[in-house]
Amino acid sequence: MSIKINYKNNLSNKKLANLVLFLNEDFNLTSLKKHVNSSEYSFISDLLKTKDLKQRILTFDISSKKKIILVSLEKNLSNSKVENLGAKFYDKFKNLKQNEFVFNSDTIPNKLKNLIGYFLHGLKLKSYKFDKYKSKKNKNNLSIYIAGKNKPSLKDQIKFNAIEEGTFYTRDLVSEPGNVLHPDEYAKRLNSLKKDGLKINIYDEKKLKKLDMNTLLGVGQGSIRGSYLVTMEWNGLNDKSKPLAFVGKGVCFDTGGISLKPAKFMEDMTYDMAGSAVVVGLMKSLALRKAKINAVGVVGLVENMPGGNAQRPGDIVKSYSGKTVEILNTDAEGRLVLADALTYTEERFKPKFIVDLATLTGAIIVSLGSEYAGLFSNDDKLSNQLINAGENVEEKVWRMPLNKNFDKLIDSKNADMQNINYVGGAGSTTAAQFLQRFILNKTPWAHLDIAGMAFSKYGGALNSSGATGYGVRLLNKLIEDNYE
């Protein structure tokens, strides 16, 4: 897949490329008169009589090679609808032999300022494919030339590109199989993000032991790979003001450990590091677009394996916070990784807020499917900001309850708490309630359970099947709208 966008003005040598024109949904062609020659104009107006005008993208074959493409714009177009239209455009034309397109941006009604920007953003997001391990690559290349004056500003171009690159980086990480992207390899890749201007700190097992991060270490101890905590700092304000903090679950593969998962669909657990991948993709895009904020990303990287040295059900471990946890099920491991990461993030960075992301529970898929991530939070303001950002970029969240009445379900007889609720029910809430115990200083905190969102077997509006990158655009929007 490769999409080439060209903003050069002289397009006299592109007469044979497909011509893309925009018009209002009433298909009032007179506005197009000055943009096509008279025979093309009468050709289109004749053909329009026979076409289904409800279709958003209409094509007319001018010759065996060249098409005129009409994109109709409905009255109340949101940015997100424009993105979807761009994605639809990609799907419709990705297999065309004549793959050069000239977009006449002068045909866009004036009030739709950034239409080209959002249209191409959707188109590019949709075009992503993970075909690294295919010997035969599918070449769906499009070359797009933008003619006319209605172009995105340089600043917007940089912003869109940064978000695309961040999202693609997240999708790449999530798509990698467990034998390639184990914690050692993951930590190495994160180290390479220094080139984008991020400050990277890698804590390996030796350092984590010194710090007493035993709930994180316990999860990884059955694996031949290492366990890591990695911090990524972006100091866009060049001052010491409090950063925004993002924390991610990075379980590179979740077998369940000694509480082994059943074989069916266990392969899906290669995406159990998606929370961390969103944090990484977000940090990358903040750096690429030189966002005017301070932010820190913190990820816990482990592999949850059974083995001679693996953690046992019944083990009791002491977390970085000092609180003790009885491990009743080694498959409830994400919360153990996050527990240490959350306390450390709060104490070390004293952030304005913490948002964590994790493919934490199967139960959230039962409640919300693949439409909403579950949101659990101790802060109404942060929650509303996330809900609004989600509606805006079509990466939606739905707020679920936290309540001290759930606490009795995770209190343990032998330790301060246990890592599962034995009574049953409220699986996602008890997991979130567990996490909340590791926020020690009342920092505004939100937990996003993205188990149903990180991966899509069927694809969505802006992604083909596979890793979705859900969360990168949501958090970029949260930052852009409220903190920049």
Beta strand 373-377 with 445-449 is antiparallel
User: Which residue in the list 159, 284, 335, 396 is annotated as catalytic?
Assistant: 335
Give the x-and-dash track for 254-273 against ligand BES (CB under 6 A). x-------------x---x-
Amino acid identity for residue 76 in this structure: N
Q: Per the structure block, which two tokens stand in for 205?
A: 């097992």
User: At residue 253, what are phi and psi to the nearest 5 degrees?
Assistant: -150, 135
Is residue 361 a contact residue for ligand BES (CB under 6 A)?
A: yes
Residues 6+ apart with CB under 8 A from 77: 112, 115
CB of residue 94 vs ligand BES: minimum separation in angstroms? 30
Is residue 356 near ligand BES by the rule CB under 6 A?
A: no
DSSP state of 261: P
> Is 75 annotated as catalytic?
no
Q: Taking CB within 5 to 8 Å according to partner kind, which of Zn ion, ligand BES, none is near residue 362?
A: ligand BES
- The residues, any chain, with a CB within 8 Å of residue 401's CB and separated by 6 or more, are 376, 429
Please check whether residue 307 is in contact with residue 256, taking contact to mean a CB–CB distance below 8 angstroms.
no
Among 235, 329, 367, 412, binds ligand BES (CB under 6 A): 329
| Mask for 237-256, x = binds Zn ion (CB under 5 A) | --------------x--x--
Instruction: Verify binding: residue 460, ligand BES, rule CB under 6 A.
Output: no
Cα(185)–Cα(384) distance, integer angstroms: 37
Binding to ligand BES by residue 45, rule CB under 6 A?
Answer: no
Cα(354)–Cα(374) distance, integer angstroms: 16
Classify residue 247 by burial, with Cβ atoms within 10 Å: 0-12, 13-18, 19+.
buried
- Tell me which of 300, 334, 427, 444 binds Zn ion, using CB under 5 A: 334
Tell the smallest beta-carbon distance from residue 331 to Zn ion (Å): 4
Q: Which does 363 bind (CB under 5 to 8 A by kind): ligand BES, Zn ion, none?
A: ligand BES
The CA R_g of the chain, rounded to the nearest whole Å, is: 25
In the bound state, the residue with its beta carbon closest to ligand BES is 362
Residue 391, exposed/middle/buried by CB under 10 A (0-12, 13-18, 19+)?
middle
State the catalytic residue, choosing from 88, 129, 151, 261.
Answer: 261
Contact yes or no for 249/275 (Cβ under 8 A) = yes
420 is an interface residue for ligand BES by CB under 6 A: yes
Least separation in angstroms between residue 475's CB and ligand BES is: 20
- 261 labelled catalytic: yes
Residues interacting with ligand BES, by CB under 6 A?
Answer: 254, 268, 272, 329, 331-334, 359, 361-363, 420, 427, 451
Q: Which stretches of the chain bind Zn ion, using CB under 5 A?
A: 251, 254, 272, 331, 333-334
Task: Report the catalytic residues.
Answer: 261, 335
